[in-house]
């Protein structure tokens, strides 16, 4: 039986990365730089999805597949893959940009604010339910489940060790690990 060590491994590299990220986050929050209306930097690098649509899509995807332990970067990576697909297909680019605009319009109609500016999850879910039968919603929901959960970095965050076929299957990789029982 394989013994899992679930303790967080702290080394100098992880400490420095965490410290730097914390310092930047503290500076941004304390400086009041966080703004709902600002265009995120990552969205400006997209080719087919407009920055304002990307901001709406990011919040939409976070609401469709909510994981508190996942940072925005994982969702941004998923959206980047959809953007790459949309860069090759003008109809898809139009569907995504128009769909995000329609989602913002629905949010303004129901809650008097664009979708990404709604702070209440219940309000955002109500807006999503109003568009859940549209081809846009189905496309985003269907593509994002693959784009998000096919990232090995997400697997690690969610506790999935990845496919086992190339290692001989699960039989010899701890399928019967029962680490939740304390050793006597």
Average pLDDT of every residue of the chain: 84
pLDDT computed for residue 24 by the predictor: 54
Domain edges within the chain: 48-63+72-158
Instruction: Give CA separation, 30 vs 22, 35, 42, 116, in Å.
Output: 12, 12, 22, 22
pLDDT computed for residue 34 by the predictor: 41
Instruction: Give CA separation, 46 vs 13, 84, 154, in Å.
Output: 30, 8, 21
pTM over 0.75: no
pLDDT computed for residue 9 by the predictor: 59
pLDDT per residue over 50-68, tens digit each? 999 999 999 999 999 999 9
| Confidence category of residue 182, pLDDT binned at 50, 70, 90 | confident
pLDDT score of 78 more than 60:
yes
pLDDT per residue over 22-44, tens digit each? 655 555 444 443 444 567 788 88
């Amino acid at each position: 039986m394989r013994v899992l060590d679930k303790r967080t491994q702290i080394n100098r590299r992880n400490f420095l990365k965490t410290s730097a990220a914390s310092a930047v986050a503290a500076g941004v929050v304390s400086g009041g730089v966080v703004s709902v209306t600002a265009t995120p930097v990552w969205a400006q690098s997209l080719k087919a999805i407009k920055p304002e649509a990307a901001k709406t899509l990011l919040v939409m995807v976070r609401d469709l597949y909510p994981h508190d332990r996942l940072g925005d970067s994982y969702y941004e990576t998923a959206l980047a893959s959809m953007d790459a697909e949309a860069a090759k297909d003008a109809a898809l680019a139009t569907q995504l940009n128009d769909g995000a605009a329609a989602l913002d319009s629905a949010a303004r109609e129901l809650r008097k604010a664009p979708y990404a500016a709604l702070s209440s999850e219940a309000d955002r879910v109500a807006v999503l339910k109003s568009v859940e039968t549209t081809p846009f919603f189905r496309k985003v929901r269907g593509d994002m489940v693959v784009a998000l959960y096919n990232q090995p970095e997400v697997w690690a965050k969610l506790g999935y060790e990845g496919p086992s076929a190339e290692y001989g299957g699960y039989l010899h990789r701890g399928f019967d690990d029962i680490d939740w029982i304390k050793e006597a």
